[in-house]
Amino acid sequence: MFARFLAAALLGAAAALPIAASAQPMTLGDAVSYALDHDPAIAQKYATVAQSEHSLALARESAFPTVNGSLSNYMSKSSNYGGAYAAIGAQQVPVVSQNTAQIGTNYTISTGGLALLQLTAARAQTAQAQKDLANSEDQLASSVTNAYFTVVQKRANVSVDESDLSYQNALVNAAKAKEHAGVVAGVDVLRAQVAQAKSASALVGARADVENARETLAQTIGAPLEQQFAFPERVAEPALPTQPLDRLETIALANRSDVAAADASLAAARATRKGWDRELFPQVQIGAAFGNQFAPTSAGQIVGVDSNGKPITIPRGTPGFWTLSANTTFQLPFVDYGARRTERASDDAALAAAVAAERQAKEQAQLDVRQSYRAAQTALAQLAFARDESRLSLESARIAQLQYQRGLIALSDVIQTQSQSVASQFDLVSARVAYVDAVVKLRVSLGIYDAKSAVADLTAANARKE
């Protein structure tokens, strides 16, 4: 009895636990892949693309000839039944069986190529759906990347705060030693302890910020809040593209999904405009087939005699058959109550809108590439300045500490120098993250990277669990 109660209690406790996180810590690529696989909006976009591709396949089937193979069997048995041809003296065969095997094709050339216009429109819809999917994936990957490097930045800030606290601890010890030697007043110790407490408080807050940022990252990708991640020891510094700017613009115009969608929409609008006079053309239905027929019930049956009086029988099977057919229909509207005139005005307006949309899409692609490239170059230059600033400020803080220990400068000067050093180290971390973000935006603007490959090389091999 007690054992059953204990088992039930353990089962209830296990059910109350949150969903278990992945056993392995996720890298940035893993996080992006997980987000893409679990985001409901992305799943809906995939469904839309699949549906549009199916509609495109149906449009191809209507626009182009189809080739089909068929096997059929006809069987009939009757008794004392005259049949449809009894009036002309033909008798219904009591037992009939016929097998047919054929390969045939049917092609309807609609008026003015309407099926081809519908095919062009289906291509435009598919390109638009693919563009929406690519944009959604890029936006989600950008959000995950920002959340990931926010954690990386917070971790780097913790390292800076730890170094600052160590510096302040050494400064307190130096102030106490100088007070004990009677070189400075006790107020220096108090000031150093104030700075020490401030640094300790900042370190506590920075560590909490890391955990908060990690949970935000887990929530962004749709994983349990307990999910752990692998973060690099240092923020990656990927190289900029080596191609000139005009070459990058050409790459973007040839590969971006929004430009492709605009081109497809323009092609559809032009085809629709050309098909305005489709009623002036006939509709033609063409069919062709070849195959073999065999009637087992009639094989060997005597159907007459030849000129020599010998019986003529139906052979077993035939050498084969073929058929060709064509049906042409021509209709010309005499009274349409302005339908054709308003259709042409609508087609002209749609074509003008498509031309403007395509021009805007190409200009937007060029603008994105130029600004992203310029932003990446600026971020790289600022990173170099931030690196020099951090190096110089660290050396300045080290020298200031030595000067204070030897009584050359006041404690307030040391604290101010260290504050500047901490700020410059924070600036260096921010500059590294800003450069990575700029490179990712540049890659996305080119259209040759998908959501996963754009961030594939941004995590170093020396990642560790956080």
Residue pLDDT, tens place only, 375-432: 999 999 999 999 999 999 999 999 988 888 888 888 888 889 989 999 999 999 999 9
Residues 6+ apart with CB under 8 A from 405: 174, 178
87 found inside a domain: no
Q: Give domain status of residue 436, yes or no.
A: yes
For residue 106, pLDDT beyond 50: yes
**Residues listed for the chain:** 466
Find the CATH number of the domain harbouring 185.
1.20.1600.10
Mean pLDDT is lowest, of 134-143, 198-207, 430-439, for: 134-143
Give the range among 18-22, 37-41, 206-210 with minimum mean pLDDT: 18-22
Q: Which residues contact 222 (CB under 8 A, 6 or more apart)?
A: 34, 35, 38, 39
Q: For residue 97, what pLDDT band results from cuts at 50, 70 and 90?
A: confident
pTM, two decimal places: 0.70
Residue 10 resides in a domain: no
Confidence of residue 244 (pLDDT cuts 50, 70, 90): very high
Convert the pLDDT of each residue in 165-192 to its tens digit: 998 898 888 888 877 777 666 777 888 8
Relative orientation angle of helices 114-180 and 186-221, to the nearest 10 degrees = 160
Query: If pLDDT is split at 50, 70 and 90, which confidence band does 8 have?
Result: very low
Please choose, from the candidates 292, 341, 338, the residue with its C-alpha nearest in 3D space to the C-alpha of residue 315.
Answer: 292
Task: Give dist(CA 77, CA 65) in Å, integer.
Answer: 38
User: 17 lies in a domain?
Assistant: no
Task: Work out the burial of residue 223: count CB atoms within 10 Å of its CB; fewer than 13 is exposed, 13-18 middle, 19 or more buried.
Answer: buried
**194 within some domain:** yes
Which residue in this structure is represented by tokens 């064509």? 326
Instruction: Name the residue with tokens 């159907």.
Output: 303
pLDDT band at 315 (very low <50, low <70, confident <90, very high): low
- Mean pLDDT is lowest, of 49-53, 71-75, 232-236, 357-361, for 232-236
Is 9 within a domain? no
Q: How many CA atoms lie within 13 A of 268 on its CB side?
A: 23
Show the domain range for 235. 23-77+94-454
Is 226 inside any structural domain?
A: yes
The pair of structure tokens assigned to 246 is 């005009």
Question: Which range, of 283-287, 321-325, 410-414, averages the lowest pLDDT?
Answer: 283-287
d(CA 395, CA 412): 17
Average the pLDDT over 357-376 and give the result: 94
Percent residues over pLDDT 90 in the chain: 25
Q: Is the pLDDT of residue 466 over 60?
A: no
The encoded tokens of residue 44 equal 């809906």
What torsion do the CA atoms of 329, 330, 333, 334 make, to the nearest 10 degrees?
-130
Q: Domain for residue 11, yes or no?
A: no
Q: Which residues pair with 465 in a beta bridge?
A: 230
Q: What angle, rounded to 10 degrees, do the helices at 245-255 and 339-405 form?
A: 130
What is d(CA 52, CA 133) in angstroms, rounded to the nearest whole number? 12
Q: How many domains does the chain have?
A: 1
